[in-house]
Amino acid sequence: MRLGVNIDHVATLRQARYAGVQDVQRAEPDLALAAAVCERAGAHGITIHLRADRRHIQDRDVLRLRDTINTKLNLEMGNTPEIVDIALRVLPEEVCLVPENRKEVTTEGGLDVSGQFKQLEPTLKRLQLAGIRVSLFIEPAPDQIEAAAKLRAEMVELHTGAFAEADAKTRELELKRLQVAAEHAHGYGLQVNAGHGINYTNITQVRTIPHLAELNIGHSIVSRGVIVGLGQAVEEMLKQMNRTR
């Protein structure tokens, strides 16, 4: 499995002190440096979410990271004209379309692809015509997978939040949902990724989900990085991800 490190919360730390400061030389921590540390530690890509409210990642971060990262840039974004236009200017290797609610602390669920099919279709076409691979962040549900395949997305990212937050009684059921969904998506020829709430403990169970190509992990790695350093945190997660089953 490949690892995409989400560095949104490195930006959250910066914004806590330097919100509104345009001089990147003054503001710390430095996102480009954080991305470079992750790459040197073995990360296969850098993920950032440019939200409409700009609560952490800023437009200038997207531009700077586009110029400095050496692996690939995965831009998480809502399906809004402003953010789509930015993606088409910046041209990340990948875009992951996610639902977005200004009141939420973090992304709380999967994108309703089947319910928003008509709104999503032109966006996917524009992004793909520009050479950007598109992923859809969805619940592990058959109708969402089938809609993603019908839209001709290259990838789905299964939302692992319900699994990560489940108690002991329901976690196995949520894991089974993810396993079945991964098989279903693979059967449609979709690349299967996963993310949300994955940490150094539950990764043992996440590894049992079949056909996983890539995990996008942010909060847990950044949190671990506060204690042991970001590079070591990435290395530890990679070892856990790819430990022999």
Active-site residue among 44, 56, 76, 159? 76
Asked whether residue 19 carries a pLDDT value surpassing 90, the answer given is no
> What is the maximum alpha-carbon separation in the chain?
50
Mean pLDDT, rounded, of the chain: 94
CA–CA separation, 149 and 181 (whole Å): 13
Rounded to two decimals, the pTM is 0.94
Find the CATH number of the domain harbouring 119: 3.20.20.70
219 in catalytic set: no
- SS3 helix, strand, coil % of the chain, rounded to 5? 45, 15, 35
Q: What is the pLDDT of residue 150?
A: 98
186 in catalytic set: no
Helix (H) or strand (E) holding 118: helix 117-129
Q: What is the pLDDT of residue 44?
A: 98
Asked whether residue 157 carries a pLDDT value surpassing 80, the answer given is yes
3-state DSSP of 170-211: HHHHHHHHHHHHHHHHHHCCCEEEEECCCCCCCHHHHCCCCC
Residue 72 — very low, low, confident or very high, per pLDDT cuts 50/70/90? very high
| Structure confidence by residue, pLDDT tens digits, 36-54 | 999 999 999 999 999 999 9
Residue 122 — very low, low, confident or very high, per pLDDT cuts 50/70/90? very high
Active-site residue among 9, 44, 49, 159? 49
Active-site residue among 9, 56, 184, 196? 196
Residue 109 — very low, low, confident or very high, per pLDDT cuts 50/70/90? confident
The total number of structural domains that make up the chain? 1
157 in catalytic set: no
Q: Let me know how many helices (H) and strands (E) the chain has, helices first.
A: 11, 8
| Domain encompassing residue 172 | 2-241
Residue 20 — very low, low, confident or very high, per pLDDT cuts 50/70/90? confident
